[in-house]
Structure 1
Amino acid sequence: MDYIKWIRGKVGNEKIILNFVSGYFINTEGKILLQKRNDKNMWGFPGGAIELGESFEEAIIREYFEETGLCVKVKSLIGIYSKYEDNYPNGDEAQPLSIFFELEYVDGEISIKDEETIELRYFAVEEIPNLVNKQHEDFLCDLKRFNGQVFIR
């Protein structure tokens, strides 16, 4: 089921709360994989919406595979992000609630498998380009200073 499509069929473009997961891992060269998103033509951390019946962990594993071709597992919870607003090119408005994870690579090779992804690329932390929104900027800030304590924003 595509929860966002289903709920948007009922409420149109009105501002609603949506639940998302995102995550990152550092590869053997010390770089982080980012996704260039089709909806806003900007870089962000791979992830997406939680479907009905999914846990946060199930959602990030599914979304990461769908958007990158990589199998991952959850290593740590970095933060919970709730006080944000986002507007999409199609007119949808949302208050995105996101869970951000540190992930561990399990298997697979990078491949673009869906229409949500334009490009995938690894970046050194100091070379990460402008990110898609304030929430993703806060993800980056928190992953840089993560010491085992969960961030709540």
Structure 2
Amino acid sequence: MSQRIDYYNDPRAPAAGELLLIRRSDNDNWALPGGAIDLGESIPQAAIRETLEETGITCEITGLVGTYSNPGHVIHYTGNDEVRQEFSLVLTARPVSGEPTPSPESREVRWVMPDELDTYDMHRSMRLRISHFLQDNCPHIG
């Protein structure tokens, strides 16, 4: 069941149309929250858990932006020298509770207006995913 959260003159209140971004601890880039599915989880359960772990925000999944995979995009994890070709599912959500709170995976957590995105350093694959969402949901911005 959804929960109502009232904000009254509260600077932590999310504005309509804001995106929740994290500044990743592993590469210092800004990104949408995300991660891997644990054994026994559904996709929405994993997205809700990862968002809460990385941001302090509990969310409710509302839709799917798209699926992304590119054989030309590989990720190298230097800690164990693993190289992966990953895929991602980009979901939409609405906040239910919580306050933006950094974690070991996120140095910073912010609500960001779409017209401010150009000032944030992020990998072009992340920028592509966000632009697809904006084109479909905020055509005057994307």
Category of TM-score, reference length = shorter chain: 0.7 to 0.9
Q: Which moved more, 1:89-98 or 1:49-58?
A: 89-98
- Residues 75 and 104 of structure 1 are in contact (CA less than 8 Å); yes or no, is this contact kept in structure 2? yes
Superimposed CA distance per residue, residues 7-47 of structure 1 (whole angstroms, 9 cap, x where no aligned partner): xxxxxxxxxxxxxxxxxxxx325321210001101111111
Ranges in structure 2 where 5+ consecutive residues have no aligned partner: 1-13, 138-142
The reply on whether 1:130 has 2:117 as its aligned counterpart is no
Task: Return the offset for 1:88.
Answer: 3.1
Residue of 82, 107, 110 corresponding to 2:97 = 107
After superposing the two structures, state which structure 1 stretch, 79-88 or 58-67, moved more.
79-88
For 2:99, give the aligned amino acid: E
Aligned counterpart, 1:28:
15
Question: By percentage of residues, which structure has more strand?
Answer: 1
- The alignment's TM-score, normalised by the length of structure 2, stands at 0.76
Give ranges in structure 1 of 5+ residues lacking alignment. 1-26, 148-153
Pair 1:92 & 2:82 matched: yes
Structure 1 residue 59 displacement after superposition: 0.3
Please point out which of 109, 114, 125 is paired with 1:120: 109
Query: Normalization by structure 1: what TM-score?
Result: 0.71
- In structure 1, what residue type is equivalent to 2:17? G
Do residues 141 (structure 1) and 127 (structure 2) align? Answer: no
Q: Which amino acid counterpart does residue 82 of structure 1 have in structure 2?
A: S
1:39-81 CA distances to partner (integer Å, 9 max, x unpaired)? 1011111111111221110100000001111110111100001
- RMSD between aligned alpha carbons? 1.6
**Residue 61 of structure 2 is aligned to residue 71 of structure 1:** no
Aligned residues: 119
Partner residue, 2:6: none
**Percent identity of paired positions between Structure 1 and Structure 2:** 32
